[in-house]
Amino acid sequence: MFHTEAHAPENRHYEQLREFIREQIDKPGPLIQVLHRAQEIFGYLPMEVQDFVAREMNIPHSEVYSVVTFYNFFRTEPIGDHIINVCLGTACHVKGAQLILDALADELDIHVGGTTEDRFFTLSTARCFGACGLAPAMMIDEEVYGKLTVDKARKAIREFRKTTEKK
Ligand code: FES
């Protein structure tokens, strides 16, 4: 039995997910669909949500966990309000993208794929977003920052935070 009392504000979300599971359960290969829906509802797939899915679908937790970790579109950590995507495509790679990525991970004190404690930034990577002439490049949300150096990248995220928080 799943104790929803402890998750009062999220009850509605679990109810939504339960309903979706019931609709999907008899269809072939429903787990991926259910996990997609769960991620849409919760934003990511923490252990509690994976447990809930396993119980409701009557399958082992390990099965849910292996699907979640196999596909990189499933997230097990919350996503921040702003996404930094450092390009690791060939043009950016040869111009030192990894150094930029390492510097940002250090600056934000998170690992790649992680989110800052205040959920402001998520640090992610991309494979070429068509700004190769500006390599090495990154995007913060929709905005491209090119011809980066480690210092420029660090400065860009500090400035971004400062101006965004003022708004
Ligand atoms: S390789 Fe980085 S933008 Fe194309």
Contact 81, 51 (CB under 8 A): no
CA dihedral sign, ordered 17, 20, 26, 29 = negative
Q: Is the peptide bond before 78 cis (omega within 30 degrees of 0)?
A: no
Pick the CATH number of 82-166 from 2.70.70.10, 3.30.56.10, 3.40.30.10, 3.40.190.80: 3.40.30.10
Cα 86 to ligand 1 centre (Å): 9
Q: What is the pTM of this model?
A: 0.67
Ligand 1 and 131: CB distance under 6 A: yes
Contact 21, 27 (CB under 8 A): no
- CA–CA gap between residue 101 and residue 157 (Å, rounded): 12
Mind listing the pLDDT tens digit for each residue in 152-167?
999 999 999 999 987 6
pLDDT band for position 40 (cuts 50, 70, 90): confident
Ligand 1 and 123: CB distance under 6 A: no
Helix, strand, coil distribution of the chain in percent, nearest 5: 55, 10, 35
Ligand 1 and 129: CB distance under 6 A: yes
Closest CA to 30 of 159, 38, 150, 69: 38
All structural domains of the chain with their residue ranges: 5-70, 82-166
Higher pLDDT, residue 23 or 50 = 50
State what percent of residues in the chain have pLDDT above 70.
Answer: 92
Ligand 1 and 80: CB distance under 6 A: no
User: H/E element holding 123?
Assistant: strand 121-126
Q: Residue 21: exposed, middle, or buried by beta-carbon count in 10 A (0-12, 13-18, 19+)? A: buried
Place of tokens 């996503």: 79
* pLDDT value at residue 43: 84
On average, the pLDDT of the chain sits at: 89
Place of tokens 């998170």: 110
Cα 88 to ligand 1 centre (Å): 7
Residues in the chain: 167
Ligand 1 and 126: CB distance under 6 A: no
> What are the residue ranges of helices labelled H in 43-149?
47-57, 61-70, 90-94, 97-108
Closest CA to 101 of 119, 114, 87: 87
Mind listing the pLDDT tens digit for each residue in 111-164?
988 899 999 999 999 889 999 999 999 999 999 999 999 999 999 999 999 999
